[in-house]
């Protein structure tokens, strides 16, 4: 049962200009565990059912990817309000082409599809995504979650125009009723959602990549975790701040297992599990 020994460049070429990212990418791919020597049955099962490249994929992948291609070729302008960590002035508006934003923001298909397999395989009920952007990854999460009758996905986006683009994507995929979209700042909307849900099964953090914000979302969301809750953090090597947050999360006393896929990091709180940090390759 070998791992595909392929050494691919990361899909986001912009990040090749980011020395911190590049250095960690090389470190990751030279130290990641091969699945043959993975001794944790829990992580082995996660790998086999969700991370490993699946030979059969659902038809909906093609539909979502068609919409991604349309966004990547859409030269209409929208007013983009940046709330994220790279914003020089939070809340400042600028006109930007949908295609440029799609190139910058959307998670590569391979990673978004891993998220689909996770929500499809595990019966997560209360799912929160921070950072809808144009809804491509949200659509993968939501279609996977449709495998479980009680699953509820809530997603938050701060920019009004981007929120509008995502709404159209959900409509085209008939996902309008499967997704509860919130327009607003994570800092204001997340506490309300956490208050309203009985427990949190899956949290996907893909926005506002600063150390402080990431740690805040992590600490706030801990109030609703249970033994099988999963937190996923995007872009853990995007900056030294994000890597510092990732290292701190790994050491948190309530965290047991972490799985570092370089592009995203998975965090588990399973009490029966020995504390262990895994690094696996996805490309």
Ligand X SMILES: C[S@@+](CC[C@H](N)C(=O)[O-])C[C@H]1O[C@@H](n2cnc3c(N)ncnc32)[C@H](O)[C@@H]1O
State the minimum distance, in angstroms, from the CB of residue 116 to ligand X.
12
Q: Which is nearer to ligand X, 219 or 227 (CB)?
A: 219
State the minimum distance, in angstroms, from the CB of residue 214 to ligand X.
11
Q: Which is nearer to ligand X, 133 or 181 (CB)?
A: 133
State the minimum distance, in angstroms, from the CB of residue 182 to ligand X.
9
Q: Which is nearer to ligand X, 106 or 257 (CB)?
A: 106
DSSP 128-144: EEE--TTSHHHHHHHHH
Binding site for ligand X (CB under 6 A): 83-84, 105-107, 131, 133, 136-137, 156-159, 162, 185-187, 206-208
State the minimum distance, in angstroms, from the CB of residue 53 to ligand X.
19
Q: Which is nearer to ligand X, 10 or 158 (CB)?
A: 158
Q: Which is nearer to ligand X, 151 or 159 (CB)?
A: 159
Q: Which is nearer to ligand X, 60 or 106 (CB)?
A: 106
For the chain, where are the alpha helices, taking DSSP H only? 19-31, 41-46, 60-72, 98-105, 109-121, 136-145, 160-172, 186-196, 211-221, 240-251
Q: Residue 144: exposed, middle, or buried by beta-carbon count in 10 A (0-12, 13-18, 19+)?
A: buried
Q: What's the CA gap between 176 and 275, in Å, rounded?
A: 39
State the minimum distance, in angstroms, from the CB of residue 129 to ligand X.
7
Q: 109 near 68, Cβ under 8 Å?
A: yes
Pairing mode of beta strands 202-205, 126-130: parallel
Give the C-alpha distances (Å, rounded to integers) separating 267 from 39, 125, 156, 247: 18, 17, 21, 11
Provide the 10 A C-beta neighbour count for residue 40: 16
State the minimum distance, in angstroms, from the CB of residue 221 to ligand X.
15
State the minimum distance, in angstroms, from the CB of residue 142 to ligand X.
12
Q: Which is nearer to ligand X, 51 or 264 (CB)?
A: 264
Q: 102 near 74, Cβ under 8 Å?
A: yes
Pairing mode of beta strands 264-268, 230-234: antiparallel
């Amino acid at each position: 049962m070998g791992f595909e020994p392929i050494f691919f460049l990361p899909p986001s070429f912009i990040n090749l200009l980011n020395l911190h990212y590049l250095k960690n990418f090389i470190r990751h791919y030279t130290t990641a565990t091969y699945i043959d020597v993975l001794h944790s049955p829990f992580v082995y099962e996660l790998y086999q059912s969700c991370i490993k490249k699946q030979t059969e994929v659902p038809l909906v992948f093609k539909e979502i990817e068609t919409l991604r291609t349309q966004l990547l070729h859409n030269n209409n302008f929208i007013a983009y309000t940046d709330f994220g960590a790279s914003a020089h002035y939070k809340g400042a508006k600028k006109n930007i082409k949908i295609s440029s934003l799609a190139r910058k923001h959307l998670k590569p298909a391979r990673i978004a599809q891993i998220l689909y397999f996770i929500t499809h395989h595990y019966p997560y009920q209360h799912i929160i995504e921070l950072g809808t952007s144009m809804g491509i990854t949200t659509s993968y999460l939501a279609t996977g979650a449709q495998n479980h009758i009680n699953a509820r996905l809530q997603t938050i986006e701060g920019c009004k125009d981007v929120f509008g683009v995502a709404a159209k994507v959900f409509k085209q995929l008939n996902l309008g009723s499967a997704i509860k979209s919130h327009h607003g700042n994570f800092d204001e909307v997340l506490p309300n959602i956490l208050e309203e849900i009985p427990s949190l099964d899956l949290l996907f953090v893909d926005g506002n990549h600063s150390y402080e914000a990431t740690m805040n979302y992590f600490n706030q969301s801990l109030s609703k975790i249970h033994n099988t809750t999963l937190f996923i953090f995007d872009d853990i090597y995007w900056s030294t701040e994000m890597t510092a947050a990732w290292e701190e999360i790994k050491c948190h006393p309530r965290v047991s297992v972490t799985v570092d896929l370089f592009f995203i990091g998975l965090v588990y709180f399973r009490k029966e599990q020995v504390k262990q940090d895994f690094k696996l390759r996805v490309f």
